[in-house]
């Protein structure tokens, strides 16, 4: 992740220093970047001179002291709070008082990372999506300690890199990793109830819903271990709100080593010559699956608005630019009709009696207007 962010900074004409504890990792990052830049030259996306200039702007080093003259540092190291604390307090002693210190963390709070600093008003989250050079979305997360000046300077800079920024509260999963949870969680629940199999759920979401990838294909891409860990951490961080409850199916797949594409098998079999299952293309079943997952996604988007995590515009922007949803969820809700979405959720809530399906108060309020 760090090398992708370094590429973006260097392509935007910044002198960039890539630091890692491992020289081997740095060598690999340099090799990988050279391959990427060669491909960009072949495709005429950049000139041969651009390539040389970009390469010339990046210094690879294991010595953090080289950060001395930097005005911004984006930390993208291992996701462990104690390691981040050590690194942030060391960085603070190297850089000037004006240098902004950002974290690319996906699951830790920015406030907790900033607590390691003597001057924490310069901390904020700058959360890229993988691969950073290709994905347009960047979530900008001010912590309770962040100054207005830090937020404005960082946001203006990332905007100037041509990225689509959204500002969000320092809450678990920020926007995308919170609002997207039901895409996986409700799909798994539908499977566990025996309503449909993996391939049929994926078919409903792609063919009828227009999503680029079905939830099970996407989980196989992300890795079941990684996706399960995010689900568990969001669930715990939300004080075990049942809306975010992880699934045994995913846990068992992860435990069995069915991690997805990277292990050759996940929900689907990626071995050469393996036969792929056929979906049940029953349009009534497909619509039932799509309507249920979509209603849960919309409910989550409403909750993010209700809890002031971000503006409605930024929530729709985040889901279209960060995870390529075919439409913003709030705009989609308007298109379907809020009453219809509310009734869908309310009937699930009545049927199951589970808090997981409670319609968000803001949605209820809008329907009752």
Task: Assess contact for 298 and 184: CB atoms under 8 A.
Answer: no
Q: What Cα–Cα distance (Å) separates residue 224 from each residue in 78, 177, 215?
A: 19, 15, 11
Is 177 assigned a catalytic role? yes
Rounded to the nearest 10°, the torsion over CA 117, 120, 122, 124 is 90
Residue 164 in the binding site for ligand NAD (CB under 6 A):
no
Give the span between the Cα atoms of 195 and 212, in whole angstroms.
22
Residue 14 falls in the annotated catalytic set: no
Q: Minimum CB separation from ligand NAD for residue 184, in Å?
A: 15
Would you state the structure tokens that stand for residue 281, as one six-digit string?
A: 């293309």
Active site residue 253: no
Tokens standing for 142? 């001010």
Q: Are 18 and 3 in contact (CB under 8 A)?
A: yes
Contact residue for ligand NAD among 11, 104, 145, 224 (CB under 6 A): 104
Asked whether position 65 contacts ligand NAD by CB under 6 A, the answer is no
How far is C-alpha 184 from the chain's CA centre? 13
Q: Is 25 near ligand NAD (CB under 6 A)?
A: yes
Q: Residue 325 CB, nearest distance to ligand NAD (Å)?
A: 18
Q: Is 130 in the site for ligand NAD (CB under 6 A)?
A: yes
DSSP H or E stretch at residue 16:
strand 16-19
Say whether residue 77 binds ligand NAD (CB under 6 A): yes
Q: Which is nearer to ligand NAD, 48 or 83 (CB)?
A: 83
Q: Which residue's C-beta sits nearest to ligand NAD?
A: 1
State the CB neighbour count (10 A cutoff) for residue 43: 8
Six-digit token string for 205: 């979401």
**112 binding ligand NAD? (CB under 6 A):** no
Of the residues 127, 247, 299, 360, only one is catalytic, namely 127
Our CB check for ligand NAD shows the closer of 1 and 167 to be 1
b/e burial code for range 204-219 (CB count within 10 A of at least 16 → b): bbbebbebebbbbbbb
**How many angstroms separate the CA atoms of 8 and 304, rounded?**
29
Rounded Cα distance between 292 and 337, Å, is: 15
30 catalytically annotated: no
Contacting residue, 6, 20, 230, 330, with ligand NAD by CB under 6 A = 20
- From the list 15, 22, 65, 71, which residue makes contact with ligand NAD (rule: CB under 6 A)? 22
Q: How many residues make up the chain in this entry?
A: 369
Question: Which residue among the candidates 139, 186, 254, 300 is catalytic per the annotation?
Answer: 139
Q: Under the criterion CB under 6 A, does residue 94 sit at the interface with ligand NAD? A: no
238 membership: H or E segment, kind and range: none
106 lies in the binding site for ligand NAD (CB under 6 A): yes
Token representation of residue 283: 């349009």
105 forms part of the interface with ligand NAD (CB under 6 A) = yes
Which residue stretch of 18-26, 179-187, 250-258, 273-281 sits at the interface with ligand NAD (rule: CB under 6 A)? 18-26
User: Cβ contacts of residue 170 below 8 Å, gap of 6+?
Assistant: 109, 110, 111, 125, 141, 142, 143, 144
At 123 the three-state DSSP class reads strand
Which residue, 41 or 237, is less far from ligand NAD as judged by CB? 237
Does residue 78 touch ligand NAD according to CB under 6 A? Answer: yes
Q: Which is nearer to ligand NAD, 2 or 209 (CB)?
A: 2
Map residues 242-261 to x or -, x wherever contact with ligand NAD holds by CB under 6 A.
Answer: --------------------
Q: Does 297 bind ligand NAD (CB under 6 A)?
A: no
Task: Note the residues at the interface with ligand NAD (CB under 6 A).
Answer: 1-2, 19-22, 25, 76-79, 83, 87, 104-107, 128, 130
Catalytic residues: 106, 127, 139, 177
């Amino acid at each position: 992740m760090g090398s992708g962010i370094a590429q973006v900074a260097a392509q935007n004409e910044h002198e960039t220093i890539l630091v890692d504890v491992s020289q081997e990792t740095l060598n690999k990052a340099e090799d990988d970047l050279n391959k990427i830049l060669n491909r960009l030259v072949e495709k005429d996306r950049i000139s041969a001179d651009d390539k040389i200039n970009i390469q010339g702007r990046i210094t690879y080093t294991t010595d953090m002291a080289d950060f001395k003259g930097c005005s911004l540092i984006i930390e993208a190291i291992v996701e462990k709070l104690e390691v981040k604390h050590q690194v942030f307090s060391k960085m603070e002693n190297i850089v000037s008082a004006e240098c902004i210190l950002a974290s690319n963390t996906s699951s830790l709070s920015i406030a907790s990372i900033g607590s390691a600093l003597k001057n924490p008003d310069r901390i904020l989250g700058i959360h890229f999506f993988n691969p950073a050079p290709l994905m347009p979305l960047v979530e900008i997360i001010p912590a309770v300690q962040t100054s207005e000046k830090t937020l404005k300077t960082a946001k203006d800079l990332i905007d100037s890199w041509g990225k689509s920024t959204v500002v969000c509260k320092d809450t678990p999963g920020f926007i995308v990793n919170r609002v997207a949870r039901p895409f996986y969680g409700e799909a798994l629940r539908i499977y566990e109830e025996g309503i449909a199999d993996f391939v049929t759920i994926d078919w409903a979401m792609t063919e009828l819903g227009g999503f680029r990838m079905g939830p099970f294909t996407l989980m196989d891409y992300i890795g079941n271990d990684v996706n399960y860990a995010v689900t568990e951490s969001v669930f715990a961080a939300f004080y075990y709100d049942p809306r975010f409850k992880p699934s045994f199916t995913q846990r068992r797949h992860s435990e069995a080593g069915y991690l997805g594409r990277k292990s050759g098998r996940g929900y689907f079999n990626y071995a050469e010559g393996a036969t792929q299952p056929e979906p049940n293309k029953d349009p009534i079943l497909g619509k039932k699956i799509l309507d249920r997952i979509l209603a849960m996604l919309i409910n989550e988007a409403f909750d993010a608005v209700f809890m002031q995590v971000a503006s409605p515009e930024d929530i729709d922007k985040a889901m279209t630019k960060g995870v390529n949803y075919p439409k913003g969820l709030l705009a989609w809700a308007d298109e379907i009709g809020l009453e219809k979405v509310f009734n869908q959720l309310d009937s699930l809530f009545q049927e199951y009696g589970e808090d997981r399906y409670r319609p968000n108060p803001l949605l209820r309020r809008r329907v009752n207007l």
